[in-house]
Amino acid sequence: MAAFREAMQSRSCEIEEGMVQMGNHRIDGGSIAMRNLLKLPKPPTAIMTSNDLTAIGAMGTIHEAGLRVPQDISVVGFDGFPFPT
């Protein structure tokens, strides 16, 4: 978190209140964080999550809200989680 805040500050980018949500790196954490973000007066149009499981939770909540990925909200998750095919 410190590195993120430092990178944003070094580029003169303001972090709007409520836009950073702390989670637990699991699906339920992503879902809870996304619900909080969608309640903001100006919800985000893109999010970056700490890992793929968090992104999955966020995408489920986006879908439940009647929104679409990536048309309404772009989602980035990373860590190379091996999804079964």
For residue 51, tell me if it sits in a domain.
Answer: yes
The residue range of the domain holding 62 is 24-79
Please give the residue that has the higher pLDDT: either 2 or 28: 28
Cβ contacts of 73-78, under 8 Å, gap ≥ 24: 73/43, 73/44, 73/45, 73/46, 73/47, 74/45, 74/46, 74/47, 75/46, 75/47, 75/49, 76/46, 76/47, 76/48, 76/49, 77/49, 77/51, 77/52, 77/53, 78/51, 78/52
| More confident site: 13 or 85 | 13
CATH number of the domain within which 70 lies: 3.40.50.2300
Residue 4 has pLDDT above 70, yes or no: yes
pLDDT, average across residues 41-64: 96
- 53 found inside a domain: yes
Instruction: Count how many domains the chain has.
Output: 1
String of DSSP letters for 33-50: HHHHHHTSSS--SEEE-S
Let me know if residue 69 belongs to a domain: yes
Mean of pLDDT over the chain? 94
Flag whether 44 is in a domain. Answer: yes
The answer as to whether 67 is a domain residue is yes
Window from 28-32, 60-64, 69-73, 79-83 with minimum mean pLDDT:
79-83
